[in-house]
Chains A and B, each alone.
Chain A
Amino acid sequence: MGGELGSLVASLLESEQWVGSLVGIDSDPPRRRLRRAEFHLIEPDDRSRIVDVVTKFNPHVLIHLAVWEPDARAGTAHARQLTSDASLAFFGAAAECPALESIVVRSGIEIYGRAQNSLTRPDESVHPNPTSEYGRMLERLEGAAMATAARIGIAVGALRLAPVLGPHVPSPLGRLLRQPAVPFSSLADPPFTVVEDRHAARAFVAAAQRRLAEPVNVVAPGAITALQAITRGRRLPVPLVGPEWALVRRLSHVLGAPIPEHVMEVMHRGRLADGSHASSALGVEATASAATIIDRLYKWETVVRVPSQRAAA
């Protein structure tokens, strides 16, 4: 509930009639003003406190958004550890809640992987075959949620999100594309898709309300290639062939936009998914195409300057 997506989901849940009370846990304070929700600032490794809060609350639905994308807010190893700690604590606590009916988990289309001859647009029926560390993290997360759900006999739904972009969402892909000069694979320049944070948040609310019991891809319609995105953003495209990527990755890291493995995969192999099942499973339609979301990415202010309301004395 502290992250941008979590705060957005919480604020949407607050306005839902079917939601009675709402409790959120995160290691960061909420990014938005929440009126009804009760918030607890707890680190993911503080399992006993998490179990205490969750079991006392005894929820009907658990929305698990505690997934740290590598190089979004933490490095890969740290992100893996935080995600693992959080899933153990929350799923463990959820299993002790007698009222629990459903778990909704944040996952990603990275879970399908981009191995040689993998499908261009995998749908939910395709068996996960992750080829990046983030994909493997998501596979473990979904597995843990399903194992917990199977033990206590409840539904588990996984929302497999495309890379989430939004004005304040920490995203390594978004950060890379907003650099003044952006590298891209000149030999491949494959298409990828994204999802807007608001669309993803609406999908979580709908999944919780409907007690989703299956994986669903949540992606924006359409696709865009890296070069097309760079051109739309009027950035300087830097065509790369192969070996120089290693140097560019290091340089980009130094400049504040690390390129993790799963983003490298996007640049070399693309990342699309079939999101048509979401409209029937969730009743949520995307309002913006991938190209529109990329356009918005470039329209966000780098620094928002708020002028003082009255002059200093």
Chain B
Amino acid sequence: MADVIELPRRRTDDDDAPTFETVDDWGRDDRLIRLLVPLAWLRWSVSVGGIEQLPARTGALLVTNTRRVSLSQIYVAWALAREVGRPVRFVGRPDVAPLGPFLRRLGALLDDPTEVEGALRHGELVVMGAAPTGHPRHAGPVDHALIGSAVRAGVSVYPVASMSSPLSRNARADVGPAVRPRRKRRGPLAEVELAEATQRQLQKMLDEFGGVQTGVPPVDWLAEG
């Protein structure tokens, strides 16, 4: 019966070439992302800096600041992927259909240190968000459990200062140098201190961005960008 009902197939020059794309090892659908990225760039015009800091082939954990409902992990991941020419994944998909599977197609990973560690061990670039804040220029606390996945995987942690505005397309994503802990630790203090150092470095980068600082969060929130 399958020989009778046969659906049409896209014709290509090379018959043996794959005509349909697939997802990668982590379920990221590059074709879907290529379709959605132009729409994303209608919302954000992201200028990226500091990508020379990132490793060319090995994995790295990138920590970005998060303003509430700014979707900073997504635009940072996609903007960096565009610049470095390799997939950049982001942490924080729920495991509930249909949102979870959809975000997985966009490159999202579960908010689980073991999942993130697995990706880092396989040389993936992974963006995680600091705790969301109401102020666009404040870096929230960084989850040390996720930082621990980078420690165990033996990869570096990079701060990525991000900035966007709800009223403007302009957005920024600046990658800072890898965070170096002040002293080497063998135990769990390694990730706790590295998470604190990452938050400090991220805050420093955000302070260097400049911009409006009235001290009134709603005004600053709207005026950024």
Contact = CB atoms under 8 A, between A and B. Distances in A.
Interface stretch (A76-84, A95-103, A137-145, A218-226): A218-226
Interface in B1-16: 1-9
Contacts of A11: none
Q: Which interface class (under 10, 10 to 19, 20 to 34, 35 or more) fits A?
A: 35 or more
Contacts of A165: none
A261 interface: no
A187 B100 CA distance: 10
Interface in A8-27: none
Contacts of A232: 19-20
A225 B22 CA distance: 7
Contacts, number: 95
A190 B1 contact: no
Contact of B2 (A116, A119, A179, A225): A179
A153 interface: no
A291 B22 contact: yes
B27 A223 contact: yes
A254 to B, nearest CB: 14
A276 B59 CA distance: 15
A191 B22 CA distance: 9
Nearest to A221: B25
B118 A121 contact: yes
Contacts of A136: none
Which residue among B97, B98, B115 has the maximum number of chain A CB atoms within 10 Å of its CB? B97
B118 to A, nearest CB: 6
Interface stretch (B39-47, B63-71, B106-114, B137-145): B106-114
Contacts of B172: none
B3 to A, nearest CB: 7
Given A187-B101, A232-B20, A222 B2 contact: no
Q: Which interface class (under 10, 10 to 19, 20 to 34, 35 or more) fits B?
A: 20 to 34
Given A120-B104, A190-B27, A180 B5 contact: yes
A118 B122 CA distance: 19
A222 B18 contact: no
Which residue among A190, A270, A272 has the maximum number of chain B CB atoms within 10 Å of its CB? A190
B112 A119 contact: yes
A71 B104 CA distance: 30
B27 A222 contact: no
B23 A223 contact: yes
B23 A225 contact: yes
Interface string B109-143: 11010110010001000000000000000000000
Given A117-B112, A118-B95, A121-B115, 19 more contacts: A119-B112, A119-B114, A120-B27, A178-B2, A180-B1, A180-B2, A188-B101, A190-B27, A190-B101, A222-B22, A223-B26, A225-B22, A225-B23, A234-B6, A235-B5, A236-B5, A272-B26, A291-B18, A302-B2
